[in-house]
Chains A and B, each alone.
Chain A
């Protein structure tokens, strides 16, 4: 816990044991100790706050809050109470209460530097920029320290950044900030580098580039020392803004020559073309004399050609033929692992007719030797291997592999794997944390096989992919690319079990939950690995929830250290995480999953929804600002531009994810509205019911249902485009399956049913024959639809056909959708039950009273009973089907499978078996989890017999 004031205070001594208990996580003892102390010293307010902290940490939020407000109402001014309350409010995620606290404190102690500064920071946490500006000035008046003054200036910049009205920001906030700094400059009071940085920041934002330049070049600029070449870089930026090219060129030339390594920083510098050509030629001549050749000047030449061509100039400057230059570059740097990345940018300079020639030209200069004429020529050392690997990568980039027919592709795969295994010789001494030199051969072979699988439907190819990758991983256990590709392929095959382990071995954490977490969360639940899905959502949510608190802390630090330029950056970062697509997805899916696993099984639907603080009216997803933080290029590929992941793919994928998220979020909100409709839970004769009661609830539901229909429509429209993302690009959402297997129709018709039942509820049984009939029909068609959905789940998950293994992972996804849909059906049915039950008991009472045996039972009762019976039968059938799948999966002896590919090496056979075993076991796991959940759901049907 934070600082504890002065030791002399006897209260400190009394409080210390409580602090210690809290620090050690012994909250119970802390509460007891605080109670003891409060008996003796009633007015020791801090003890109350510490008790509140203990309560908060043991989950008693309401008590903690009440206690804290008791103390806050007294407007305490002692350090201990203030600090303890600050900590408590932060843990409660209520930073705005801290501002109230210190507002009261500075009123009582108007000259306290400490409290004023706490107040400033409290405002900073919640982004109250205007109040920060005032608090900063108030501080400066009490203690005229420069930082306080500049905190106030920075708050003006923040007001300008957050202002919706750009005009206001340029005509009011920034000029005011400028004047405030100018005043200090005139009085010669500028002290720190941060203050000059801030001045520069203001002028730059005001587009006063000349003034900014003068500051940087003048006396004040001398303070800019922390960052390397801070002044030069700022000058350069301003020269560019001012289009002062001669100065810009002279400065960049000086900077370039100063860099001993001679790397050329290619920016938007506007040399005259002749100058540029001359400069680069000079560098290259210099370079050729040095012992260690540098890549920069050579690449700069290619870059210059590229830019000249963009401008429509061709070879008038005699820079040379790009093909020849690239060839020369390869000869010099082909043994560097980055050679491919270096040249990748420039392949557009080659005419496509030259591709094959270019590749063979490169191959010719690599020293390879074959043991015999008929055998593959292999590299004798790492350098040659590296060069060859570069050519193979370029071959793929130029689309040469893609143009091959099936047989040629298979031959190429064999050769690549041979080279891969041969290359392992060079890495015998590699540590297990290092990669093998030849790993990329294996990856490239797998990419070729993926093409065969997906484009030519070659089923054996996917098993070979997994086999080779597992083999590769056994030699190079730290290779993240092997793991990532295995994850993607296993998921596509519907096998999630091996994925969990692979992913955990990547040791991805913190921000990586946001950037690559999608690899897990897209598949865990949809493949029926509910426990794993829960866990991965939890990890991600923990990260996102801590973000708000964490980043605020460092925004404050940035003020303290005068890192002003970082403040808007940190705020933008916090926003980027808060509006993350993935965050919104895991939030939604986590709640749906909790309901799926628990609602009306271990707790009632109503309680589950209450514990999640869900309400149908509330939508906390920032739809307009959703940020796609997924790292979609985390998997390497060497595909030509037209097959690579494009901006368009990213845009489309975000669109798809957003529509799907909308469907999911609306489903969740609709489900969360169910309990609000029930009579049973409406507090009787409460005033709320009258004014804001059930009738508005059904309106909410109906409006949500309309929105759901609209979302479904846009989803369908989206899918009509039949977009195919690259295999290693964004995984498609579950939306296509949701529509095609019929879950969508089932779910929407369920919510229409809710509306009808509500109508019955308000109309009563008499004169509602039409509604009753409608409900009866809905029941019937629902059963039909659910039966259709079940039919889509039938079939074998895995079977041996023509010597190869065939899988149907979509059956798994359909089963999962079935379970979800049946769960929603049962929640809706239980609402139905809650409406019909009172009707029935009323009728029975009447019957008893009148002692008549002929009070006719309204048709809706029969409809409902029939429907429930059919639901039960259907669910039992599905459970039987799942049992059947389990038996087949257990009995399936893959070891006996004689694979038709007789080319398989002994080593490969071993890995193939491992892979097949993993897939089989994963399916088994899925089927088990799905079956268990469905059994629990079946039990809840039995309660529905009115």
Chain B
């Protein structure tokens, strides 16, 4: 029993249970506000009957239509530990895909840590495939080496020939991606 609704600024005061997770980044206020101002429809939170925040997805639409790169992008997706294994992340992804379909996107993409096997497998199950590897995309703070990211994609119906997801043969550097 879950209610899905638009994420609001007040949720920032209550999302600790989701964000105190080592793989979930807490961004600066401008970052959240930018998404709320520009793509409010892409920022959705799931709430339990008791009022606990269960998880959220934050995304945007970007890219050139002419170059067939107009797409939905998943910026953050996280579910609190006790609300995992309910298919909530899949549901939130589905919503983001639906919005991207309506906007006429060619695909949906996301970046994920190469080491985050749990997430990579989940995205694969949801129909995503690795489009390319982005070298040292995640910078580490505590002296550990920077980590690579997978750029994973799923084609939407507008990309009838699924051209957007043909994997690149070589990895790219973060400065080479748009």
Binding site for B on A (CB under 8 A): 225-228, 261, 263-267, 292, 295-296, 299-300, 303, 336-338, 340-342, 344-345, 431, 433-435, 478, 480, 484, 506-512, 514-516, 546-547, 550-551, 553-554, 557-558, 561, 563, 565-566, 569-570, 572-573, 576, 629, 631, 634
Given contacts A261-B87, A338-B82, A433-B23, contact A563 B95 (CB under 8 A): no
Whose C-beta in chain A lies nearest to the C-beta of B9?
A573
Whose C-beta in chain B lies nearest to the C-beta of A516?
B16
Q: Within the assembled complex, what's the spacing in Å between the Cα atoms of A516 and B91?
A: 30
Which residues in chain B, 23-74, are within 8 Å of chain A measured between CB atoms?
A: 23, 26-30, 33-34, 36-38, 40-41, 48-50, 52
A-B contact pairs, 20 of them (CB 8 A): A226-B41, A226-B103, A261-B87, A264-B1, A267-B3, A336-B85, A337-B81, A340-B82, A341-B83, A484-B20, A507-B22, A512-B26, A547-B29, A554-B36, A565-B40, A569-B36, A570-B33, A570-B36, A576-B10, A629-B13
Specify which chain B residues have a CB less than 8 angstroms from the CB of A509 in the assembled complex.
26, 28
- Is A336 touching B99 in the complex (CB atoms < 8 A)? no
Shortest distance between the CB of A835 and any CB in chain B (Å): 49
- Is B1 touching A300 in the complex (CB atoms < 8 A)? yes
Given contacts A341-B83, A344-B50, A431-B117, 12 further A-B contacts (CB under 8 A): A337-B81, A337-B84, A431-B115, A433-B22, A433-B23, A515-B16, A546-B28, A550-B30, A557-B34, A569-B8, A569-B36, A631-B13
Name the 9 nearest CB pairs between A and B, nearest first: A554-B33, A573-B9, A480-B20, A557-B37, A558-B37, A478-B22, A227-B41, A299-B1, A226-B41
B86 at the interface (CB under 8 A from A): yes
Specify which chain A residues have a CB less than 8 angstroms from the CB of B4 in the assembled complex.
265
**How many B residues have CB within 8 A of the partner chain?**
51
Q: Within the assembled complex, what's the spacing in Å between the Cα atoms of A349 and B117?
A: 42
Specify which chain A residues have a CB less than 8 angstroms from the CB of B87 in the assembled complex.
261, 292
- Is A261 touching B52 in the complex (CB atoms < 8 A)? no
Q: Within the assembled complex, what's the spacing in Å between the Cα atoms of A354 and B117?
A: 44
B166 at the interface (CB under 8 A from A): no
Specify which chain B residues have a CB less than 8 angstroms from the CB of A634 in the assembled complex.
16-17, 20
B146 at the interface (CB under 8 A from A): no
Counting chain A CB atoms within 10 Å of each CB, the highest count among B49, B87, B98 belongs to B49
Whose C-beta in chain A lies nearest to the C-beta of B49?
A345
Specify which chain A residues have a CB less than 8 angstroms from the CB of B3 in the assembled complex.
265-267
Q: Within the assembled complex, what's the spacing in Å between the Cα atoms of A514 and B28?
A: 12
Q: Within the assembled complex, what's the spacing in Å between the Cα atoms of A512 and B19?
A: 10
Shortest distance between the CB of A426 and any CB in chain B (Å): 14
B163 at the interface (CB under 8 A from A): no
Given contacts A572-B9, A573-B9, contact A337 B85 (CB under 8 A): yes
- Is B82 touching A341 in the complex (CB atoms < 8 A)? yes
- Of the candidates B17, B36, B85, the one whose C-beta lies within 8 Å of that of A563 is B36
Specify which chain B residues have a CB less than 8 angstroms from the CB of A507 in the assembled complex.
22, 26
- Of the candidates B21, B48, B84, the one whose C-beta lies within 8 Å of that of A341 is B48
Shortest distance between the CB of A900 and any CB in chain B (Å): 37
- Is B36 touching A511 in the complex (CB atoms < 8 A)? no
Shortest distance between the CB of A628 and any CB in chain B (Å): 10
Q: Within the assembled complex, what's the spacing in Å between the Cα atoms of A646 and B29?
A: 29
B126 at the interface (CB under 8 A from A): no
Specify which chain A residues have a CB less than 8 angstroms from the CB of B49 in the assembled complex.
266, 299, 303, 342, 345
Specify which chain A residues have a CB less than 8 angstroms from the CB of B22 in the assembled complex.
433, 478, 507
Specify which chain B residues have a CB less than 8 angstroms from the CB of A342 in the assembled complex.
1, 49
Whose C-beta in chain B lies nearest to the C-beta of A344?
B50
Given contacts A337-B81, A512-B19, contact A551 B37 (CB under 8 A): no
- Is B16 touching A261 in the complex (CB atoms < 8 A)? no
Specify which chain B residues have a CB less than 8 angstroms from the CB of A337 in the assembled complex.
81-85
Specify which chain A residues have a CB less than 8 angstroms from the CB of B23 in the assembled complex.
433
Whose C-beta in chain A lies nearest to the C-beta of B6?
A227
Q: Within the assembled complex, what's the spacing in Å between the Cα atoms of A283 and B116?
A: 37
Q: Within the assembled complex, what's the spacing in Å between the Cα atoms of A344 and B9?
A: 27
Whose C-beta in chain B lies nearest to the C-beta of A440?
B82
Specify which chain A residues have a CB less than 8 angstroms from the CB of B37 in the assembled complex.
554, 557-558, 561, 563, 566, 570
Specify which chain B residues have a CB less than 8 angstroms from the CB of A267 in the assembled complex.
3
Given contacts A345-B49, A561-B37, contact A261 B91 (CB under 8 A): yes
Whose C-beta in chain A lies nearest to the C-beta of B61?
A226
- Of the candidates A303, A431, A512, the one whose C-beta lies within 8 Å of that of B1 is A303
B121 at the interface (CB under 8 A from A): no
Q: Within the assembled complex, what's the spacing in Å between the Cα atoms of A341 and B37?
A: 33
Given contacts A226-B41, A295-B1, A554-B30, contact A336 B10 (CB under 8 A): no
B14 at the interface (CB under 8 A from A): yes
Specify which chain B residues have a CB less than 8 angstroms from the CB of A576 in the assembled complex.
9-10, 13
Specify which chain B residues have a CB less than 8 angstroms from the CB of A225 in the assembled complex.
102
Shortest distance between the CB of A264 and any CB in chain B (Å): 6
Shortest distance between the CB of A662 and any CB in chain B (Å): 24
Counting chain B CB atoms within 10 Å of each CB, the highest count among A336, A480, A554 belongs to A554
- Is B29 touching A511 in the complex (CB atoms < 8 A)? yes
B122 at the interface (CB under 8 A from A): no
- Is A434 touching B118 in the complex (CB atoms < 8 A)? yes
Q: Within the assembled complex, what's the spacing in Å between the Cα atoms of A340 and B27?
A: 30
Shortest distance between the CB of B2 and any CB in chain A (Å): 5
- Is B17 touching A435 in the complex (CB atoms < 8 A)? no
Shortest distance between the CB of A479 and any CB in chain B (Å): 9
Specify which chain A residues have a CB less than 8 angstroms from the CB of B86 in the assembled complex.
295, 336, 338
Specify which chain A residues have a CB less than 8 angstroms from the CB of B102 in the assembled complex.
225-226
Shortest distance between the CB of B83 and any CB in chain A (Å): 5
Q: Within the assembled complex, what's the spacing in Å between the Cα atoms of A433 and B81?
A: 12
Shortest distance between the CB of A272 and any CB in chain B (Å): 21
Shortest distance between the CB of A392 and any CB in chain B (Å): 14
Q: Within the assembled complex, what's the spacing in Å between the Cα atoms of A566 and B37?
A: 7
Specify which chain B residues have a CB less than 8 angstroms from the CB of A261 in the assembled complex.
87, 91
Given contacts A265-B3, A561-B38, contact A511 B83 (CB under 8 A): no
Whose C-beta in chain B lies nearest to the C-beta of A627?
B13
Q: Within the assembled complex, what's the spacing in Å between the Cα atoms of A663 and B78?
A: 42
Shortest distance between the CB of A416 and any CB in chain B (Å): 18
Given contacts A563-B38, A569-B8, contact A228 B99 (CB under 8 A): yes
Specify which chain B residues have a CB less than 8 angstroms from the CB of A573 in the assembled complex.
9-10, 12
Shortest distance between the CB of B115 and any CB in chain A (Å): 8
Specify which chain A residues have a CB less than 8 angstroms from the CB of B91 in the assembled complex.
261
Shortest distance between the CB of A283 and any CB in chain B (Å): 12
Whose C-beta in chain B lies nearest to the C-beta of A631?
B16
Q: Within the assembled complex, what's the spacing in Å between the Cα atoms of A40 and B102?
A: 59
Shortest distance between the CB of A867 and any CB in chain B (Å): 50
Q: Within the assembled complex, what's the spacing in Å between the Cα atoms of A510 and B84?
A: 26
Shortest distance between the CB of B92 and any CB in chain A (Å): 12
Whose C-beta in chain B lies nearest to the C-beta of A296?
B1
Given contacts A507-B26, A512-B16, contact A569 B9 (CB under 8 A): yes
Q: Within the assembled complex, what's the spacing in Å between the Cα atoms of A265 and B22?
A: 31
Shortest distance between the CB of A122 and any CB in chain B (Å): 18
- Is A515 touching B98 in the complex (CB atoms < 8 A)? no
Specify which chain B residues have a CB less than 8 angstroms from the CB of A516 in the assembled complex.
16
Specify which chain B residues have a CB less than 8 angstroms from the CB of A226 in the assembled complex.
41, 99, 102-103
Shortest distance between the CB of A728 and any CB in chain B (Å): 14
- Is A510 touching B29 in the complex (CB atoms < 8 A)? yes
Specify which chain A residues have a CB less than 8 angstroms from the CB of B115 in the assembled complex.
431
Whose C-beta in chain B lies nearest to the C-beta of A549?
B30
Shortest distance between the CB of A551 and any CB in chain B (Å): 7
Q: Within the assembled complex, what's the spacing in Å between the Cα atoms of A303 and B52?
A: 17
Specify which chain A residues have a CB less than 8 angstroms from the CB of B34 in the assembled complex.
554, 557
Q: Within the assembled complex, what's the spacing in Å between the Cα atoms of A546 and B31?
A: 13
